[in-house]
């Protein structure tokens, strides 16, 4: 009788648990997007003597660094509900930087972690803005703004070779998340294309 009663109690508990689980609301999965899939055009042929560049840890606007897509409307900031980047924006940006240098064919070669290669320069990157700005109201298509600051230093004497800020402003084609994500991709392609050409030129100076 004791075992029968215990079994009945366990069955009742399992039934109660299943009832509790069934009342949890079902949430639709977030729609995932990415940027950095479009690489800048290759550098012009005859770019000069190759040189190695190591990259310091990229600084990234804290509010925009996660998987959430940051929007700004005047003094107000918000994230797009139900939509995310496939990885943190800072992670995707670093991956895009690597692809931009790898695909450029210019003299600057980005040295990966663990590579035993002589480095000539250190590249420091700071993403200061990475957002969709609703300058014309919440119902209008926003403009994606990406601001990237770069410092390039020589390794052997730690001398500053150059410092420059790159800005891209790309209007989204529509006030839809897919169009906004596409504008982010175009803006990142623009600033990274300009960055690679600048590093190529400064490294030859």
How confident is the model over 1-52, as pLDDT tens digits? 444 344 444 344 433 433 433 344 444 567 999 998 888 887 676 567 899 9
Question: What is the domain-level CATH number for residue 178?
Answer: 3.40.50.10610
User: Of the candidates 68, 86, 83, 66, which has an alpha carbon nearest to the alpha carbon of residue 31?
Assistant: 83
CB-based contact 51:199 (threshold 8 Å): no
Residue 33's domain spans which residues? 2-203
The reported pLDDT for the residue numbered 180 is: 97
Does pLDDT of 158 surpass 90? no
- The pair of structure tokens assigned to 144 is 């994606």
Q: How many CB atoms are located within 10 Å of the residue 56 CB?
A: 12
Find the mean pLDDT for residues 83-98. Answer: 97
How confident is the model over 52-85, as pLDDT tens digits? 999 999 999 999 999 999 999 999 999 999 999 9
Domain tally, the chain: 1
Q: What is the C-alpha end-to-end distance of the chain, expressed in Å?
A: 91
As to burial, measured by CB atoms within 10 angstroms (0-12 exposed, 13-18 middle, 19+ buried), residue 182 is: buried
Estimate to the nearest angstrom the gap between the alpha carbon of 152 and the chain centroid. Answer: 21
Give percent of the chain with pLDDT exceeding 90.
67
Find the mean pLDDT for residues 95-116. Answer: 88
């Amino acid at each position: 009788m004791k075992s029968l009663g215990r079994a009945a109690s366990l069955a009742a508990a399992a039934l109660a648990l299943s009832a509790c689980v069934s009342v949890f609301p079902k949430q639709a999965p977030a729609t995932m997007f990415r940027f950095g899939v479009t690489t800048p055009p290759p550098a012009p042929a005859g770019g000069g003597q190759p040189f190695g560049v190591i990259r310091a840890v990229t600084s990234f606007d804290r509010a925009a660094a996660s998987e959430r897509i940051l929007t700004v409307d005047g003094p107000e900031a918000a994230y797009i509900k139900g939509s995310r980047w496939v990885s943190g924006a800072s992670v995707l940006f670093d991956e895009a930087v690597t692809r931009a240098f790898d695909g450029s064919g210019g003299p600057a070669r980005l040295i990966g972690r663990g590579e035993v290669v002589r480095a000539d320069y250190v590249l420091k990157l700071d993403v200061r803005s990475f957002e969709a700005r609703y300058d014309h109201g919440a119902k209008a298509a926003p403009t994606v703004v990406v601001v990237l600051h770069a410092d390039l230093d020589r390794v052997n004497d730690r001398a500053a070779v150059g410092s420059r800020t790159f800005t891209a402003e790309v209007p989204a084609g529509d006030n839809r998340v897919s169009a906004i994500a596409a504008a982010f991709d175009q803006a990142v392609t623009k600033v990274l294309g300009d960055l690679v050409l600048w590093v190529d030129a400064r490294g030859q100076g």
